Amino acid sequence: MAFLMHFFAVYGNLVNFIGINALMALGLYVTLSAGQLSLGNAAFAGIGGYTAGILTMQFHAPYILSITSGAMLSGIVAVLIGLPVLRLRGVFLAMATLSFGEVVRIAAVNLTITGGAQGLVGIPNKTTTGLIFTVLALTGYFMAKLRQSRIGWSFESIREDEAAAASLGVNTTFYKTVAFTIGAIISGLAGGMYAHLNFIISPGEFGFSAAVQLLIYNIVGGTRIWYGPLLGATLLTALPEVLRGIGVTAGPIRMCVNGIILLLVILFLPNGLISLLSRSSSIAGPRP
C-alpha cells in the first residue's frame, strides 16, 4: 500500500494523462473502425475542452454539466461537418478533417472568449483519477458491446468494402456519420476532462500534431480491436518516462524512438502491437 501511495505521488500525473490519452485514442478508434481516417479528432477534443472550460469559468456551471455539454457540442459539430465531409474517401477525407481542425484551431487563436493564443488559464482542477478511469472503463465496455451490435457490424462492413456494404443495404452515409459523431463525443468528453486536469489549455494543443499523435496511438496499438488504442496510448505516453529512467533525456532521441516504433509497427505489424499479445483470428486477420 505504501508502495502504491509512493508510486502515485510520483507518477499520478502520468497515470492521469495515460487515461486521458487513451480516451482520446478511443475516440479516433471509433471513426477508424468504420474505415474513416479522420485528422480532426484533436479539434473535437479542443471543442469539448474549450466549451467545458468556458462554462466552468464564465458561467460557474457544475463540472459534470460542463464536460457533458462539451461532449454534446462536439457531437453536434460532428454531425454538421460529417454529413458533407464523409462523402470523401481516404486521403481526401483526411485532408478535409485536417483543414476543419486547423480552422477550429485558428478560431480559438482569434476569438476573445477562448483567450486567444494564450488560451484559457486557471481552469479549476476537478478531474479525478477515479473519474478518468471510470469513464475509460465505461467507454471500453461500450466499445465491446458496440462491436457485437448491428452498428458495429455495419462499421466493419464499411471498413472492409464500402461499395459492397452499400450494395447489401447498409446505409453507409448514416453509419459513417454515426461513427464520426460517437468518436467526436468521446474526444470532446476527453477534452473537457483534460481541461479540468491541466489548469490551462491553448490552441496549439489541439492542432495537427495532436491529431497525428492520436493516429499514432491507434496504429501502434492496433485498430482491429478496441483495446489496441489503449495499449498504444499507454505505451507511448509512458515512453518518455521510461526513457528518462534509462538515462535518455535528449528530446531529439525520444522523438526519434517514437518515429522508429511507428515505422517498425507499420512495416512489420500492420495490426499493431496488440496482434503480438493475442492470437485470436478476429484480431490478427489481414487488413482490408
Partner 1 sequence: MSLLLQQLVNGLFIGSVYGLFAVGYTLVFGVLDILNMAHATVFTLGGLVALWLVEGSGMSIWAAFPLAVLFSGLLGLVLDRVAFAPLRQRSDTYFSGLISSIAMAIIFESAALGLFGAHTVRFPPNTIKTDIWRIEGVTITSLQVEIVLVALILMGALSLFLHRTRTGKAIRAVAESERTARLLGIHVDGIIASTFFVSSALGGAAGILFGLYFDALSPDMGRSIELKGLAVIVLGGMGSIPGAILGGLTFGLSEVLTVAVTGKSNLRDAVAFTVLFAVLLLRPEGLLGRRRAREV
In angstroms, the CA 255 to CA 13 distance is 21
Cα first-last separation, the chain: 47
Size of the site for partner 1 (CB under 8 A): 44
Please tell me whether residue 235 binds partner 1 under the rule CB under 8 A.
no
Q: Which is nearer to partner 1, 160 or 241 (CB)?
A: 160
CA proximity to 108, closest of 202, 30, 22: 202
CA proximity to 27, closest of 107, 142, 198, 162: 142
Q: Which is nearer to partner 1, 63 or 206 (CB)?
A: 206
What CA–CA distances, in Å, run from 261 to 3, 168, 215, 219, 251? 31, 39, 13, 10, 16
- Let me know: does 19 contact 136? Beta carbons within 8 Å: yes
Question: Grid coordinates standing for 10?
Answer: 510520483
Q: Which is nearer to partner 1, 151 or 262 (CB)?
A: 262
Please tell me whether residue 96 binds partner 1 under the rule CB under 8 A.
yes
- Let me know: does 56 contact 121? Beta carbons within 8 Å: no
The window from 15-23, 52-60, 164-172, 260-268 that contacts partner 1 (CB under 8 A) reads 260-268
DSSP single-letter state for residue 286: P
Q: Which is nearer to partner 1, 128 or 258 (CB)?
A: 258
Beta bridge partners of 79: none
Q: Which is nearer to partner 1, 57 or 107 (CB)?
A: 107
Number of residues written out for the chain: 288
* Residue choice 255, 276, 277, 280 for contact with partner 1 (CB under 8 A): 255
Shortest distance, position 238 Cβ to partner 1, whole Å: 18
| Sign (positive or negative) of CA dihedral 173, 176, 180, 185 | positive
* Residue choice 130, 169, 245, 251 for contact with partner 1 (CB under 8 A): 251
The window from 50-58, 94-102, 164-172, 185-193 that contacts partner 1 (CB under 8 A) reads 94-102
* 32-61 footprint of partner 1 as x/- string (CB under 8 A): -----x------------------------
* Residue choice 190, 193, 195, 216 for contact with partner 1 (CB under 8 A): 216
Please tell me whether residue 168 binds partner 1 under the rule CB under 8 A.
no
Question: Grid coordinates standing for 267?
Answer: 512495416
Q: Which is nearer to partner 1, 17 or 100 (CB)?
A: 100
Q: Which is nearer to partner 1, 56 or 237 (CB)?
A: 237
* 100-139 footprint of partner 1 as x/- string (CB under 8 A): x-xx--xx-xx------x----------------------
- Let me know: does 83 contact 96? Beta carbons within 8 Å: no
Q: Which is nearer to partner 1, 54 or 219 (CB)?
A: 219
Q: Say if residue 55 is exposed, middle or buried (CB neighbours under 10 Å; 0-12, 13-18, 19+).
A: buried
In angstroms, the CA 84 to CA 91 distance is 16
Which residue ranges make up the site for partner 1 (CB under 8 A)? 37, 84-85, 88-92, 94-96, 98-100, 102-103, 106-107, 109-110, 117, 208-209, 212, 215-216, 219, 250-253, 255-256, 258-260, 262-263, 266-267, 270, 286-288
